[in-house]
A and B are shown apart, each in its own frame.
Chain A
Amino acid sequence: MKLQWRLAALKNGFREATAYRIEFLFEIVGSAFVPAATQFVLWYALFQTGGASQIAGLSYSEMLHYTFVSLLFSQVRGGDHDFELQEMIRSGQLSNSLLRPVGVVEFIYLRGVAPRLFIAAFCLALGMIFSIYLGFSPMRLLGAMFLALIGNIIHYQIGAALSTTAFLWEEAYSILMVKNMIVNLLSGELIPLNLFPSSLQWIWKSTPFYLYVYGPTQYALGRWTHSEYLLQLGIAMIWIMAASLAIHLTWRLGMKRYLSLGG
């Protein structure tokens, strides 16, 4: 039973996401092409137009490698299922889920993560093919994708904890949007995080967001040693435990306030 409902939730989530195939395709293409083009443009302006030879110790081709590889992982980190949670709390739809013999936070995650797993597999295959040409290890790519998937879990967990603010206020949409904007910058999907001035490096190091894109990219490109990777994996596990605790506490407090009439 335990595994059955989880598989059913995954299947259901995948079907829902791909029911509108053109939309699904647009989403993948849009979310992949434009951030890559934006990054490429910055490197082009700095290196080709500006004539720089190195920035933060990285050459033009190294920046382009970063852009391409980070793209594979930024496709995995997303997902808006935390928004679904806040909407359920706000609208009172949560009541229906509470009647079911499954955990609502996990159920929504599994349904939302299904298309991401498909995209992750696709990106992994794509990365494997290109690794031959770009000269990085396929095994490292596999490890990096694992870290990116761990990042996906942390991302959702933080969102699930933040969504409980909908129990207190009218909605949690704005706070989740703020989280996503900060993640955009601090995950390394816009720029490599080593571009931050050394006095500001502590900002991204003190959040788990760098584990979503920057960390996996560093490992895939061979800029992290295996022991550094294992250390970061350990840090990711600590974040997962801390976020689980946050979910447990916030949902327990939130449920005490829930009125089932729109939260």
Chain B
Amino acid sequence: MNLHHYIQVYAVQIKNNFVREAVYRTNFLTALTVDIIWIGVEISLFSVLYSNTTTLAGWTQAQAYFFLGIFFASDALFTVFFQRNFWNFSDLVNKGELDILLTKPIHPLFLALTRSINITSVFNIFLGLGITAHFAHDAGFKGGMHWFGVGFWLLIGLLSATLLRFTFSIWVFWTDRSWALSRLYYQFFSFATKPDTLYPKAIRYLILSVLPFAFIGSVPARALLYGLSLNEYFLVFFVLISFFMINSFLWKFGLKKYQSASS
């Protein structure tokens, strides 16, 4: 199968998802409400903190909101394209539903991770970008051509979240359920909701290397506001490549462990 076929299959998946979302219209409104409340809670938390101080580890209030905007947009991208698929990943292995995907003339992982698209959350990408744009000037973002950098760093955020979520999900081949690991992912995910410079050295090292949650929003926001050093660019590249290779290895190893419907 070549790239053209993959694009064709993906176009069909998008069409199917549009039909599904059109059927459940109430779901659109409720999901939207949940996301807006979540964004509201995160902004409220920072507002309360900044009512007691002017800067937080060097971040002014406007810079913290700029970071939140980038983080929300990056997370919304992940929600649109991958979140539901990862929630269903456990069932694929446990209930043997992966059998069907393995028989198709296309990479089974591609099918597993592209089946569900959460079109509702597209709104949140714009909401995040709106927050970013609103606080960009006060935060010291240079603007102009630098807005192209926003797109690039959002893709880095999406890639990081996908690789991390995969690392937390793949263990379902060895464990009975991956529910707790998924929950653990979301527990660690809260590290991504704060700028990485806030963290003490040990935790900061952790979220910039072994568990690179800082790549979802914090590093992109820092890169856009201040730029990164060459070492930091190398770190981002090296960590993401490493995660990709480890995940590829675990996937192959997991497939060998997979026992079809009785797994």
List residues of chain A with CB under 8 Å of any chain B CB.
20, 22-24, 26-27, 29-31, 33-35, 37-38, 40-42, 44-46, 48-50, 52, 55-56, 169-171, 173-175, 177-178, 181-182, 184-185, 190-191, 195-197, 200
Contact = CB atoms under 8 A, between A and B. Distances in A.
B44 A41 contact: no
A77 B176 CA distance: 27
A192 to B, nearest CB: 10
Given A34-B187, A35-B190, A191-B49, 15 more contacts: A23-B179, A27-B184, A30-B180, A30-B188, A44-B198, A45-B57, A52-B53, A56-B52, A170-B26, A171-B27, A173-B30, A177-B34, A184-B41, A195-B48, A197-B51
A30 B52 contact: no
Nearest to A56: B52
B198 A22 contact: no
Given A182-B37, A185-B45, A190-B45, A37 B30 contact: no
Interface residues of B, number: 39
> Chain B binding site: helix, strand, loop or mixed by DSSP?
helix
B34 A178 contact: yes
Interface of B: 24, 26-27, 30-31, 33-34, 37-38, 41, 44-45, 48-49, 51-53, 55-58, 175-177, 179-181, 183-184, 187-188, 190-191, 193-194, 198-200, 203
A185 B41 contact: yes
A182 B39 CA distance: 11
B37 A41 contact: no
B89 to A, nearest CB: 16
Given A20-B176, A23-B179, A170-B26, A50 B48 contact: no
29 contacts: A20-B176, A23-B180, A24-B180, A26-B181, A30-B184, A34-B187, A34-B191, A37-B203, A38-B190, A38-B194, A41-B194, A41-B199, A41-B200, A41-B203, A42-B49, A42-B56, A45-B57, A45-B199, A46-B53, A46-B56, A169-B26, A171-B30, A173-B30, A174-B27, A177-B34, A185-B44, A185-B45, A190-B45, A196-B51
Nearest to B51: A197
B49 A34 contact: no
A22 B175 contact: yes
Contacts of B193: 38
> Chain A binding site: helix, strand, loop or mixed by DSSP?
helix
B41 A182 contact: yes
Given A44-B198, A185-B44, A50 B57 contact: yes
A181 B38 contact: yes
Contacts of B184: 26-27, 29-30
A182 B44 CA distance: 10
A33 B31 CA distance: 28
A26 B49 contact: no
Contacts of A182: 37, 41
A174 B33 contact: yes
A41 B45 contact: no
Contacts of A23: 175, 177, 179-180
Contacts of B203: 37, 41
User: What 5 A-B pairs have minimum CB-CB distances, sorted nearest first?
Assistant: A174-B30, A23-B180, A30-B187, A26-B180, A34-B187
A27 B180 contact: yes
Given A20-B180, A34-B191, A45 B34 contact: no
